[in-house]
Chain A
Amino acid sequence: MKYDLLVIGGGPGGYPAAIRASQLGMSVALVEQRRLGGECTNYGCIPTKSLIWPVSMLHSISRLGFVKMSYEVDFGGLMSWAEEVKSKISESLESLLRKYGVEIYEGRAKLGEVVEVEGGPSLRGEKVLLAMGTEPAGLPGLEVDGALVHDNRSILSLRRKPSRVLIVGAGYIGVEYAALFAKLGSEVHLVEALEKPLATMDEDFSRLVTRRLSKLGVKLYFSTSVREVERRERYLKVGLTSGVSVEVDIALVAVGRRPNSAGAERLGVRTDTRGYVEVDGTMRTSNPNVFAAGDLAGPPLLAHKAFAQALVAAENAAGRKSYYEPKVVPSVVYFDPELVSVGLTEAEARRAGYEVSVAKLPIGGVARAVIEDSVDGFVKLVYESGSKALLGIHMAGPHVSELAGEASLAIEMGATLEDLALTIHPHPTISEALQEAAELALGKPKHYYKK
């Protein structure tokens, strides 16, 4: 079977490309070994947010003194809810792809000049898009068994609430699950080899996350690693390098990811030292007929980045001219409060050679944060001192994930502090914090005392 475009992988780096290519008149086949939607839909964005949303709501409401309510979550029901959500999304993806005439093959693809689908046909593509993504990186000694030790995939099959949880890795997956389990009433131990959580993000986020997790009762072990693991029948005994030993019902390993690029070399595709496929701005690999998009094409490992790259790859495969060159890729952590990072941090901007100024507004300065009893947070603007053009926007606060788009648009459009300050933001919303922060930077905050 021969197609104009053969897409390997049905996640965010693959399926949008299949749809776009079909819109451009190409015949398209897509091979997926698990379920459509990839890591995001099945194990990442979608199920985790499905878990976090109801639990966070409950937790927030129950903290109000006048609410006479204690909550109990049917853990199995909660996990089924996440399952239900991701099924809905995965199914709607399938029907969408079919409407576009994309032929879907289920099975593992063995890459080569001809792509063999396990238990299925051999496929050829005039152009090929590799979008096999990444998988959880393992931790020696703490191999995933799906019973006591989990990764972000297997943990979704839990049906009984663990009363004691060890999380290894305080990246965004680790801190999101730490807060979730803490709110569900589990005893949570969070171990991180680096000296702080979210080490790659702005320093202010690390401090806030540390403070909030402590408040939730999470036991934090930074600059610490797992030294030894004893697997008992129903629990784990884990010794840490700090000398502490903890007993937990399950462990979640969230220490990073590794690219699924095995076999790519058979297509004449070059990979870098970490195994990510090398691409240019058109998402072409070293083989001009082979494209790559999404996680496989390297960090940041984010679904929305994969979407953008998938479209670029499809357009180029169809012979159009298209480039992937965003100024910013927003990143969001669905923590409590939500964290958003768009563009350069202060340190990155200085390293890049810009002359930089920074303004930081406490989120408690906006009425909506007070209304929602969530005043721990900030909006931090990083801007070029001369032009006052925005270089980075970093936010922590309720609903700020919904402001990530505005922040990205502002930077993409080259907005300055004035643009933000002169754009009327509705009251009372959290979005006012962006306007107020710009006003603060310009020396004229209206709800904030400036010496």
Chain B
Amino acid sequence: MEVRLPDIGEGLTEGEIVEWLVKEGDKVKQFQPLVKVLTAKATVEIPSPYEGTVVKLLAKPGDVVKVGQAIAVIEKEGAGLVEERHEERRELVRAPPRVRKLARELGVDLAKVKGTGPGGTITEADVMRAAEEARKPEAKPPPPAEKPSDREERVPLRGIKRLMALKMAEAKAKVPHAYIAEEVDFTELVKLRESLKEEAERRGVKLTLLAFIVKAAAKALKSYPLMNASLDEARGEIVIKKYYNIGIAVDVEDGLVVPNVKEADKKGLFQIAREIQELAQKAREGRLSLEEVSNGTFSITNIGSIGTVFGMAVINYPEAAILGVHKVQELPRVVDGEIKPRKVGILSLSFDHRFIEGAYATRFLLHLKRLLENPVLIMAPEEEFQ
């Protein structure tokens, strides 16, 4: 019996084989993890649908397999829970004769064409479109690299880095990014953090500025719903999300992952801090679940923790915007007519200019700045802001 890469949800269409957890000849139990697969979002373990013996592994680490593609052959013992589905039910392919003729001429397989005519009838235009798509050059293996040389090294683009490449290219290709930035005076927030530090430590939590920023961002997003939205291009609709799952960009060994803090608006500061800590830990260990990297609504990249004073981040598509938190440093600033040392840092915002205007984004960022500079407001109940 063939084991196929299951549809693991989230509209995923393919995954990369990371590591086989069984080898040919192994006996496996039903639901025993067979293989680690890296999807566009996370590494997931695919369980065996049956009890039996692994006869053959059909893909090797590094291979990218499509959902539905056979990845292994398992000789079944006993009845598996997952019944083999007989795809015998036939659906009528509805295409008038001239469309079928055209399909023949263009070499289009009508069974694979989605009809847009009445009742799903396949039209000439559908066939033309399918032919057009088929004509697009297949991703052919590139010509072999130039002669190997000691002066260059070629590293295969695999795993998280490959996904990063795909995601970033997609985001930049689809979304016209616009950027704004604002200096924020974190002096009060740093003070507040200092005062809570001990309490946090007692609870086993490392309280970072980032936790405050997540909390503040969730709050600010509620007042600026478009910042917590995405564009449904197919339908031409803006999808405004009434949940606030704030993604945190985490730098891992060979790439970037963005797990998110679910419902950050409903969580307390310590809890947010604890979750950030856990997510970062899991990310570094490659243990993030699909759920933890799915359904984000807004992202934050805390690149300042490494050092830069300003940057322009790429949106975590299809989210509307990403907030860049840059280095917070003590600098002289004028306060009430006097030069004083202040802890300042720049917040940058990259946003989807297809449905967010610069003015709207600026107001959002200023609102966020106000929260961060007056941290008591972060903690204040919602309605006081309305």
Closest chain-B Cβ to A398's Cβ sits at a distance in Å of 29
Q: Is B23's beta carbon under 8 Å from chain A?
A: no
**Residue interface bits B108-129, CB-to-A below 8 A is 1, else 0:** 0000000000011100000000
Instruction: Name B92's contact: one of A322, A323, A391, A413 (CB within 8 Å).
Output: A391
Which residue, of A352, A355, A414, has the highest number of chain B Cβ atoms within 10 A?
A414
**Residue interface bits A320-340, CB-to-B below 8 A is 1, else 0:** 011101110000000000000
Q: Is A210's beta carbon under 8 Å from chain B?
A: no
Q: Is A389's beta carbon under 8 Å from chain B?
A: yes
Q: Which of B232-256 contact A (CB under 8 A)?
A: none
Complex interface: chain A residues within 8 A of B90 (CB): 352-354
Contact check, B96 vs A414: say whether CB atoms are below 8 A apart.
Answer: yes
Contact check, A414 vs B104: say whether CB atoms are below 8 A apart.
Answer: no
Q: Is B197's beta carbon under 8 Å from chain A?
A: no
Instruction: Name B101's contact: one of A323, A413, A416 (CB within 8 Å).
Output: A323
Complex interface: chain B residues within 8 A of A195 (CB): none
Q: Is A402's beta carbon under 8 Å from chain B?
A: no
Contact check, A389 vs B97: say whether CB atoms are below 8 A apart.
Answer: no
Contact check, B96 vs A355: say whether CB atoms are below 8 A apart.
Answer: no
- A207 and B234 alpha carbons, distance in the complex (Å): 55
Q: Is B100's beta carbon under 8 Å from chain A?
A: yes
Q: Is A412's beta carbon under 8 Å from chain B?
A: yes
**A326, closest chain B residue (CB):** B97
Q: Is A387's beta carbon under 8 Å from chain B?
A: yes
Contact check, B92 vs A389: say whether CB atoms are below 8 A apart.
Answer: yes
Q: Is A384's beta carbon under 8 Å from chain B?
A: yes
Contact check, A387 vs B104: say whether CB atoms are below 8 A apart.
Answer: no
Closest chain-A Cβ to B346's Cβ sits at a distance in Å of 59
Instruction: Name A387's contact: one of B89, B100, B105, B120 (CB within 8 Å).
Output: B120
- A413 and B94 alpha carbons, distance in the complex (Å): 7
Closest chain-B Cβ to A442's Cβ sits at a distance in Å of 14
- A326 and B104 alpha carbons, distance in the complex (Å): 12
Contact check, B94 vs A325: say whether CB atoms are below 8 A apart.
Answer: no
Q: Is B64's beta carbon under 8 Å from chain A?
A: no
**B104, closest chain A residue (CB):** A323
Contact check, B101 vs A387: say whether CB atoms are below 8 A apart.
Answer: no
Q: Is B146's beta carbon under 8 Å from chain A?
A: no
Q: Which of B75-105 contact A (CB under 8 A)?
A: 88-92, 94-97, 100-101, 104-105
Contact check, A321 vs B92: say whether CB atoms are below 8 A apart.
Answer: no
**B106, closest chain A residue (CB):** A321
Tell me whether A321 and B105 are in contact in the complex, defined as CB-CB below 8 angstroms, given that A387-B119, A389-B119, A416-B119 are known contacts.
Answer: yes
Complex interface: chain B residues within 8 A of A416 (CB): 119
Contact check, B89 vs A414: say whether CB atoms are below 8 A apart.
Answer: no
Contact check, A353 vs B88: say whether CB atoms are below 8 A apart.
Answer: yes
Q: Which of A426-442 contact B (CB under 8 A)?
A: none
Contact check, B88 vs A387: say whether CB atoms are below 8 A apart.
Answer: no
Query: Interface residues of A, CB < 8 Å — how many?
Result: 19
Closest chain-B Cβ to A198's Cβ sits at a distance in Å of 26
- A325 and B318 alpha carbons, distance in the complex (Å): 44
Closest chain-B Cβ to A21's Cβ sits at a distance in Å of 19
Q: Which of A379-399 contact B (CB under 8 A)?
A: 384, 387, 389, 391
**B107, closest chain A residue (CB):** A321
Contact check, B92 vs A387: say whether CB atoms are below 8 A apart.
Answer: yes
Complex interface: chain B residues within 8 A of A414 (CB): 92, 94-96, 119, 121
Complex interface: chain B residues within 8 A of A412 (CB): 96-97
Instruction: Name A354's contact: one of B92, B95, B104 (CB within 8 Å).
Output: B92
Complex interface: chain A residues within 8 A of B92 (CB): 354, 384, 387, 389, 391, 414
Contact check, A321 vs B104: say whether CB atoms are below 8 A apart.
Answer: yes
Complex interface: chain B residues within 8 A of A391 (CB): 92
Closest chain-B Cβ to A98's Cβ sits at a distance in Å of 30
- A401 and B8 alpha carbons, distance in the complex (Å): 54
Complex interface: chain B residues within 8 A of A352 (CB): 90
**A414, closest chain B residue (CB):** B94
Complex interface: chain A residues within 8 A of B97 (CB): 326-327, 412-413
Complex interface: chain B residues within 8 A of A413 (CB): 96-97, 121
Complex interface: chain B residues within 8 A of A322 (CB): 101, 104
Contact check, B96 vs A325: say whether CB atoms are below 8 A apart.
Answer: no
Which residue, of B92, B105, B119, B120, has the highest number of chain A Cβ atoms within 10 A?
B92
- A387 and B104 alpha carbons, distance in the complex (Å): 25
Contact check, B119 vs A355: say whether CB atoms are below 8 A apart.
Answer: no
- A251 and B97 alpha carbons, distance in the complex (Å): 43
Closest chain-A Cβ to B29's Cβ sits at a distance in Å of 35
- A327 and B88 alpha carbons, distance in the complex (Å): 20
Complex interface: chain B residues within 8 A of A327 (CB): 97
- A325 and B105 alpha carbons, distance in the complex (Å): 13
Contact check, A389 vs B94: say whether CB atoms are below 8 A apart.
Answer: yes
Complex interface: chain B residues within 8 A of A323 (CB): 100-101, 104
- A281 and B90 alpha carbons, distance in the complex (Å): 22
- A73 and B331 alpha carbons, distance in the complex (Å): 120
Instruction: Name B104's contact: one of A325, A355, A384 (CB within 8 Å).
Output: A325
Closest chain-B Cβ to A279's Cβ sits at a distance in Å of 15
Complex interface: chain A residues within 8 A of B120 (CB): 387
Instruction: Name B89's contact: one of A325, A355, A389 (CB within 8 Å).
Output: A355
- A387 and B89 alpha carbons, distance in the complex (Å): 14
- A391 and B119 alpha carbons, distance in the complex (Å): 15
Closest chain-B Cβ to A438's Cβ sits at a distance in Å of 14
- A384 and B95 alpha carbons, distance in the complex (Å): 15
**A282, closest chain B residue (CB):** B104
Complex interface: chain A residues within 8 A of B100 (CB): 323, 325
- A387 and B91 alpha carbons, distance in the complex (Å): 9
**A388, closest chain B residue (CB):** B119
- A325 and B88 alpha carbons, distance in the complex (Å): 22
Complex interface: chain A residues within 8 A of B104 (CB): 281, 321-323, 325
- A178 and B180 alpha carbons, distance in the complex (Å): 92
Complex interface: chain B residues within 8 A of A325 (CB): 100, 104
Closest chain-A Cβ to B136's Cβ sits at a distance in Å of 22
**B93, closest chain A residue (CB):** A414
- A413 and B123 alpha carbons, distance in the complex (Å): 11
- A354 and B91 alpha carbons, distance in the complex (Å): 6
Known interface pairs A326-B97, A353-B90, A387-B91; 8 further A-B residue pairs with C-beta atoms within 8 A, sorted by A's residue number: A322-B101, A323-B104, A384-B92, A389-B94, A412-B96, A414-B92, A414-B94, A414-B96
Q: B residues within 8 Å of A by Cβ?
A: 88-92, 94-97, 100-101, 104-105, 119-121
Q: Could you show 14 A-B contacts with beta carbons less than 8 Å apart?
A: A321-B104, A323-B101, A325-B100, A327-B97, A353-B90, A387-B92, A387-B94, A389-B92, A389-B119, A412-B96, A413-B97, A413-B121, A414-B119, A414-B121
Q: What 8 A-B pairs have minimum CB-CB distances, sorted nearest first?
A: A414-B94, A353-B90, A323-B104, A413-B96, A414-B121, A353-B88, A412-B97, A321-B105
